[in-house]
Structure 1
Amino acid sequence: MSTALAPAFDGRSAVFAGADICDEAGLALPDNAAHPAFEDDTWDFTHVIGLPTQLSPSMRRFDFTQITDSRWRLVAKELVLAMLAPRHQSVAPLPRAFRNPLHVTSCRARLDELVRFFTWLGERATISLQQINTRDCEAYLAHRRYVLDEHGAVVGEQSHGTRRSAAQVVVDLVNYRDLFTADRVPAELRPWGGATASAVAEMPSGRTENKTQPVSDEIMQPMLTAALYLMSTLGPHAVDLAHKIRESDLHSARRAQGIRRVGPKNRVPVRELSESLAEYTRTCTALPMLDDHYISKRLAQGWAEDDPLLPVAMGTLARRAGLSQFCHPWLPTMRPALEDALAQVGVERPFGRDADPVPAVDGTSSLPWTLPLSRPQAVALVGIVRTAAIITAAAISGMRASELMELRIGCRRPPDETVPGLTRYRIASKIVKGQPLGGTADEWVVIAPVYRAIELLEQLHDAPAEEALLIGRFSFNVRFKWFKSWANSGAGQRLGLAPIPEGPVNLRMLRRTLSLEMAYRPGGVLATKIHMKHIAVATTEGYASRPGGAQAELLAEVNKHESERNLQLVLEEFRNYQEGVLPAGPGARSLTEFFAGIDAQLDAASATAPKTQRNDRDVLNLLTKRANVLHLGPANYCWFTDPSRALCLKLAGTPTADRPLIGMCDSARCPQATHHPGHRPVWAEHADRTKIFIGQLGTTRKTERTRLQADYDRALRVVAEIDAASATTDEESA
């Protein structure tokens, strides 16, 4: 690296003077959009084609005026453009420069950290980057590492990412030193011995468990129950309500067509207002009511609490009469007519009157789907239902925030019914994370509730033009806060919704929760009315449809947790074997022999080393191979050791497949299936239900009776086998 000092500063860059930022960085703009120039103190990328929807407008504007020193401002511009355009003829020769262009989002983060660093230097009376030494670098890292209270005492540490950003800004100034025109760090500066920013920040780099915690069951269950109820039961009514709100706005807004501005306030439009009131009384329609905060405002202005006209929305009455507003000086003249109409039809909030009945959450009763609402309340309720659809789509599909924000009108692909009764639902979006500018188009295989949630969002869209953003940029944290408040309020309790407890919920946690549910509950329930097996089959197809893609991360995590779960299950069954609790079923003998072999190995090891205790880790090492072939069925364990012996593959005609077809499993006959005490309730319930069906059959339905009787006998036989194994154990214990 050259050790020459920077040339004399004349206010211009020696390498980027007059450069078009977007042309140098390869960023596309519409034909009529302004191109930011290097000399501009604000680079506006608002209209760059392909930027993710998730990127807010403020993050698309690079404001260099926050750096007060003009030399350092030029350094920041040169560094940011070098990262956007690494193939520039002056950047490419730098030995430690980035070889691939950084995303606009990453460059904005680098600029924010540069602003902090230069501000910190200014506070320390540093006038040139040449004065920086290793102690300054370490001091800045410590400054960004610790969280201080108002007294300057350390109360915590920043995240690894914050520490890495602090170290990276210094490393960048070193790596791009020869590029800078106005000021440079010393040539001999090697902070932290040349270590990378990630090493300096002690980044975990995936070596530890995912730090994002799943949503607790205490929150997940009532949240998803409320979301599904609102989406399925209140959704159609909310669509109708949204339509009525838009229709009302067309006629009642101040700037609606046909609305005229009022003339002199001392001229009362008696005829227009009287005709409007007559229409209310003729149709027996209650006068519109004000929202509560407007009533409070009237009281503050001096209205009497017992004034019968206090809750009447005068402005709405005026706009119904074709006037832009109701002027207060008109009230004495119009009061008799207003009070007469009020006495005849009363006053009520305008939306949700005579609401249709819907079943309550528990299904035991029905009640109006909503109470009468003012316009703000109606808009809020539509927003709550929209949030319910977003929660449903996020929690069950596992899509990232960026992927949800890229959804567009028409993203639902036509359902594909491959065989009768089996329908595949797909939605199209873009993968943004880790992809080039513009993202990569992809499709997600989802289950029916997600598909219906997307459909509901399309119906609730204010302007559902083809390819318009379906949700757009949104804050899930804010939306969930409103959703929880509504569910816990009187409106939600009236419908029978369970309160949602306090606790953190965000899209990353929902994604993490789905991965764990898929791994640990392949035959269980994710939430009310959503069967886990459906999610495991359909959603996993979505993640596996493009191996190695961005969706593979979640599938890898699912596989990891599934392996851990299988190991624990095998260990539990081995411990049961040691205690005399034996498996049942066609594959019981093979499994028992395997456990006997493991037990013999442990006994032999203990004999040679009598002082050594064999712990669970040692046992798991011996059980790992068998755990890798364990597959969970709804009422059995499948030990898929030999595909040629798998009954399901024989029935399907695919004897060489590498996985069993759990949906076709006949565990009472398959030689690789076992039954355990935990499966007994499933078989017992199946036997009880089959017995009921047999009792309901008529005398002429002999074929169905014969088939059901065989099924019933099989279930009883399995239950008896499980009980026999348990009884043997009890007798031996006695």
Structure 2
Amino acid sequence: MRALTAAHRPADASSSPFAGADLCDQAGLSLPGDAARPVFDHDLWDFTGVIGLPVQMAPRARRFEFTQVVDPGWRLVAKELILAMLAPHHPAVALLPRAYRTPLHLRSCAARLDELVRFFTWLHERRISSLAQLGSAECEAYLAHRRFVLDDHGCVVGEQSPGIRRSAAQAIIDLIDYRELFTADRVRPELRPWGGASASAIAEMRSGRQGNTTEPVPNTLLQPVLAAALHLVTVLGPHTAALHRHVCETRQISSLQAAGLRHGSPTAIADIKAVLEHHYVAAGIALPMIEEHDVEPRLAADWAPDDPLLMVATGIPARQAGYTQLWARWMPLLRGPFLDAVAQVGVQKQFGRDAAETPAADGCGMLPWTLPLHRSQAVALVGIVRTAAILLLAAAAGMRASELMELRIGCRRPVEEPVPGLRRYRIASKVIKGQPLGGTADEWVVIEPAYRAVELAEQLHDTQNEGGPLFGRFDFYTRYTWLRAWVNSPAGARLGLAPIPEGRITLRALRRTLALEMAYRPGGVLATKIHLKHIAVAATEGYASRPGGAQAELLAEVNKHEADRNLELVLAEFRNYQEGILPAGPGARSLTEFFASIDPGPATPDAAAPRTQRSDRDILNLLTKRAKTLHLGTANYCWFTDPSRALCLKLAGTPTADRPLVGMCDSARCPQATHHSCHRPVWAEHAEQTKTFLGALGKTRATERSRLKADRERALRVIAEIDAATTTASDQDTA
């Protein structure tokens, strides 16, 4: 061991193996030709101009501020560590046995630097001046510092997430793994906190094998949210686009940003009078109203509370006349014309006047789509509708936040119609997760409401420049909070929107909800009446278009959930069988025999063979193969064990297909279909509707009457079979 530790070396950047290095050249990052290139010796590494950075990456994360590390030696350590992670193939890094072999993303390096700054600050506060002073006790103390949330009195009130704990442990592990690289200060060679465990193990993070931890959005929250989003996009969307255009036009004419405004001129009074006469009085347009927060300053400036001009936005007519504002010295000469104009046309909020009528969300008639709005309210409403478009697109397409932020104006591809009546809607974006810097171009096949949501978002954009960011970087939680507040406000109630209950919605949760709903179809129809099979069909076209794309990842997740769902349903029916609740339908005997082969149960009480009690794991293993044949119909289960026996394939003329045509299923006749208690409400509703139709038919409609009567008799027969089969043994004993 060397007698002189690294802690005693001067913090001289020139002694570092990275001294004078061009950071982008070392890390393989591209910059525009005229951009300033960050250098290792600088205390600010600015990567803002790097080509291909994702829109989701915040500006702060693109600027590495090493001045946050007070100690010069530790500042050099931080620089060397971050560049080593960006350029793992550098000769000084490639020799390190525990160094990363693939470059980390700039975003990951920014997070590592933030945690390193926290750690060095924590050491400085405890008067630790050298990394050589670190021991296992200090490492444990820092992990505990980052693990718990303390109140103002130092009492523990909560615990941080495993991700934060992992970041804290990773900062220390990095200082150990890259120890030989540092030239200003190093930890001791024998330091091995936590027994050499990984950061994830130290943080007690869940393993990926334990399943997805993201909870789906509960239906009580999803239903009103999607209903509101659909109403805002499809019903109010076109009117909001017109409102947005009006706001933009007004900004160019009567706002302080309007071009060519003057402070005054000899003809100012006459010019403003002409605007009042021609633009307002002659046209019958009410004068604009100031916002509520502007009233107090006027009252403080000695305006009378009962002044007829108190609520008039006098600055807007002045700017329409070409002047920056209406100066107080002009008011004595203009007060009379203003009073006359108010008496003739009145005062009203500037936007949303004479709004067109639209249907209410609750179906209770027609009403104006908005009440008159101030400019700030109009801008806020446009933002609310834009948020609804983001939410609807995320819920219907399952796009990640990074993929939504990469959408550009003009991302909608032309609508295709490969088969008459069947249209394909596509939008283009980029996949960022798991892809090289710059992402990978990809296309999503979506349903029409999602396609129209993108179209509306383009119309609500301030600029229409092709290729510009459509949504840009946004905070979805903040946007959703505003949307919920608006829906729950009097404005949302007036439109008949159902209140949105408390609860957090994230884009990740929406993606998981879509995957689960698709996997459990056809049991779930989204509250917005978008049937899930439409989403599934559109998404499947996307999978076929690009098997390795983002939609294929969603398909893999859907398939996993579908397999889990099938196994749960088969196990539930097996438990019903054990309790004496049997299936009905043409395929009931086959299914019951299969269950009997696993457990004789109540169906064979006099079985000679001794009953074998298997564990749940054994039972699941035996049921798994059968679960793979299960397909859900709206009113039945299809056990697709033999394609040659499938009635739907015989009717379609495709007897060798590997999947049933559930939409053509006649479960009352197919030998592989079963009916269960969960299907009874569907058949009961069908029987009741058929009865209603029969009563409405005239005497001359004999053919239709005969067909409907047979249909109703079939439904009643299925209901009777379900009732008979689901009668438990205990019910029979009681009878």
Q: TM-score, normalised by structure 2?
A: 0.92
1:105 aligns with 2:102: no
Instruction: Identify the range of structure 1 (314-323 vs 540-549) with the bigger mean alpha-carbon deviation.
Output: 540-549
Give the AA of the match of 1:115: V
Tell me which residue corresponds to 1:50: 52
Tell me which residue corresponds to 1:228: 230
Query: How big is the shift at 1:374?
Result: 1.4
CA distance in structure 1 between the aligned counterparts of 2:726 and 2:257, rounded to whole angstroms: 83
Residues 1:728 and 1:679: Cα distance change in structure 2 (over 3 Å): closer
Tell me which residue corresponds to 2:220: 218
Query: How big is the shift at 1:495?
Result: 0.7
Query: How big is the shift at 1:36?
Result: 0.5
Aligned residue among 61, 64, 68 for 2:63: 61
1:127 aligns with 2:126: no
Tell me which residue corresponds to 1:88: 90
Residues 1:701 and 1:207: Cα distance change in structure 2 (over 3 Å): same
Aligned residue among 698, 723, 726 for 1:726: 723
List alignment gaps of at least 5 residues for structure 1: none
| Contact 1:230-1:388 within 8 A present in 2 as well | yes
Q: How does 1:330-369 map to 2 (within 5 A)?
A: 330-369=330-369
Aligned residue among 713, 717, 724 for 2:714: 717
Q: How does 1:204-353 map to 2 (within 5 A)?
A: 204-262=206-264, 269-279=268-278, 280-353=280-353
Query: How big is the shift at 1:727?
Result: 4.3
SS in 2 for 1:428: strand
Give the AA of the match of 1:640: F
1:560 aligns with 2:560: yes
Partner deviation per Cα, 1:413-438 (whole Å, 9 max, x = no partner) = 22233333322222211111111101
Partner deviation per Cα, 1:608-660 (whole Å, 9 max, x = no partner) = 999x9777666544433322211101121100111232233344454443322
Instruction: Identify the range of structure 1 (579-588 vs 326-335) with the bigger mean alpha-carbon deviation.
Output: 579-588
Partner deviation per Cα, 1:203-235 (whole Å, 9 max, x = no partner) = 212243433222222221111111100111100
SS in 2 for 1:530: coil
1:486 aligns with 2:510: no
CA distance in structure 1 between the aligned counterparts of 2:724 and 2:154, rounded to whole angstroms: 69
Q: How does 1:398-547 map to 2 (within 5 A)?
A: 398-539=398-539, 541-542=541-542, 546-547=546-547
Tell me which residue corresponds to 2:659: 659
Aligned residue among 156, 162, 165 for 2:164: 162
Give the AA of the match of 2:450: V
| Contact 2:10-2:73 within 8 A present in 1 as well | no
The alignment's C-alpha RMSD in Å is: 2.9
Give the AA of the match of 2:80: E
Residues 1:580 and 1:167: Cα distance change in structure 2 (over 3 Å): closer
Tell me which residue corresponds to 2:671: 671
Tell me which residue corresponds to 1:151: 153
SS in 2 for 1:96: coil
Give the AA of the match of 2:109: C
Query: How big is the shift at 1:180?
Result: 1.3
CA distance in structure 1 between the aligned counterparts of 2:499 and 2:5, rounded to whole angstroms: 67
Residues 1:566 and 1:604: Cα distance change in structure 2 (over 3 Å): same
SS in 1 for 2:208: coil
Residues 1:722 and 1:115: Cα distance change in structure 2 (over 3 Å): same
Query: How big is the shift at 1:693?
Result: 6.4
| Contact 1:3-1:187 within 8 A present in 2 as well | no
Instruction: Identify the range of structure 1 (571-580 vs 440-449) with the bigger mean alpha-carbon deviation.
Output: 571-580
Query: How big is the shift at 1:282?
Result: 1.0
Partner deviation per Cα, 1:96-144 (whole Å, 9 max, x = no partner) = 1110000000000111111111111111212222222222222222221
CA distance in structure 2 between the aligned counterparts of 1:540 and 1:117, rounded to whole angstroms: 48
Query: How big is the shift at 1:544?
Result: 7.0
| Contact 2:648-2:660 within 8 A present in 1 as well | yes
CA distance in structure 2 between the aligned counterparts of 1:29 and 1:701, rounded to whole angstroms: 77
| Contact 1:281-1:341 within 8 A present in 2 as well | yes
Instruction: Identify the range of structure 1 (182-191 vs 86-95) with the bigger mean alpha-carbon deviation.
Output: 182-191
SS in 2 for 1:354: coil
Q: TM-score, normalised by structure 1?
A: 0.92
CA distance in structure 2 between the aligned counterparts of 1:93 and 1:522, rounded to whole angstroms: 57
| Contact 1:684-1:715 within 8 A present in 2 as well | no
CA distance in structure 1 between the aligned counterparts of 2:51 and 2:526, rounded to whole angstroms: 39
| Contact 1:357-1:369 within 8 A present in 2 as well | yes
Partner deviation per Cα, 1:597-616 (whole Å, 9 max, x = no partner) = 33417989999999x97776
Tell me which residue corresponds to 1:136: 138
SS in 2 for 1:163: helix
CA distance in structure 1 between the aligned counterparts of 2:180 and 2:143, rounded to whole angstroms: 24
Give the AA of the match of 1:566: N
CA distance in structure 2 between the aligned counterparts of 1:354 and 1:473, rounded to whole angstroms: 35
1:596 aligns with 2:596: yes
Residues 1:99 and 1:346: Cα distance change in structure 2 (over 3 Å): same
Instruction: Identify the range of structure 1 (538-547 vs 628-637) with the bigger mean alpha-carbon deviation.
Output: 538-547
| Contact 2:11-2:184 within 8 A present in 1 as well | yes
Tell me which residue corresponds to 2:390: 390
Residues 1:3 and 1:725: Cα distance change in structure 2 (over 3 Å): farther
CA distance in structure 2 between the aligned counterparts of 1:121 and 1:660, rounded to whole angstroms: 65
| Contact 2:20-2:40 within 8 A present in 1 as well | yes
| Number of equivalenced pairs | 727
Query: How big is the shift at 1:289?
Result: 0.7
Residues 1:413 and 1:686: Cα distance change in structure 2 (over 3 Å): farther
CA distance in structure 1 between the aligned counterparts of 2:21 and 2:700, rounded to whole angstroms: 89
Residues 1:619 and 1:711: Cα distance change in structure 2 (over 3 Å): farther
Query: How big is the shift at 1:588?
Result: 2.4
Give the AA of the match of 2:368: P
Tell me which residue corresponds to 1:23: 25
Give the AA of the match of 1:592: T
Query: How big is the shift at 1:465?
Result: 1.6
1:649 aligns with 2:642: no
CA distance in structure 1 between the aligned counterparts of 2:238 and 2:149, rounded to whole angstroms: 49
CA distance in structure 1 between the aligned counterparts of 2:2 and 2:597, rounded to whole angstroms: 70
Tell me which residue corresponds to 1:639: 639
Partner deviation per Cα, 1:547-573 (whole Å, 9 max, x = no partner) = 565555543443333333323333343
CA distance in structure 2 between the aligned counterparts of 1:605 and 1:49, rounded to whole angstroms: 77
Tell me which residue corresponds to 2:175: 173
Query: How big is the shift at 1:88?
Result: 0.9
Give the AA of the match of 1:662: V
Instruction: Identify the range of structure 1 (133-142 vs 377-386) with the bigger mean alpha-carbon deviation.
Output: 133-142
Instruction: Identify the range of structure 1 (494-503 vs 150-159) with the bigger mean alpha-carbon deviation.
Output: 150-159
What is the aligned-residue identity percentage? 65
Instruction: Identify the range of structure 1 (125-134 vs 115-124) with the bigger mean alpha-carbon deviation.
Output: 125-134
CA distance in structure 1 between the aligned counterparts of 2:544 and 2:144, rounded to whole angstroms: 44
Give the AA of the match of 2:255: A
Give the AA of the match of 1:299: L
Tell me which residue corresponds to 1:10: 12
CA distance in structure 2 between the aligned counterparts of 1:589 and 1:633, rounded to whole angstroms: 19
Instruction: Identify the range of structure 1 (544-553 vs 441-450) with the bigger mean alpha-carbon deviation.
Output: 544-553
Residues 1:727 and 1:195: Cα distance change in structure 2 (over 3 Å): closer
CA distance in structure 1 between the aligned counterparts of 2:297 and 2:606, rounded to whole angstroms: 84
CA distance in structure 2 between the aligned counterparts of 1:96 and 1:257, rounded to whole angstroms: 61
Residues 1:76 and 1:609: Cα distance change in structure 2 (over 3 Å): farther
SS in 2 for 1:525: coil
Q: How does 1:675-694 map to 2 (within 5 A)?
A: 675-686=675-686, 689=689
Instruction: Identify the range of structure 1 (392-401 vs 289-298) with the bigger mean alpha-carbon deviation.
Output: 289-298
SS in 1 for 2:14: coil
CA distance in structure 1 between the aligned counterparts of 2:10 and 2:578, rounded to whole angstroms: 83
Give the AA of the match of 1:717: R
SS in 2 for 1:526: coil
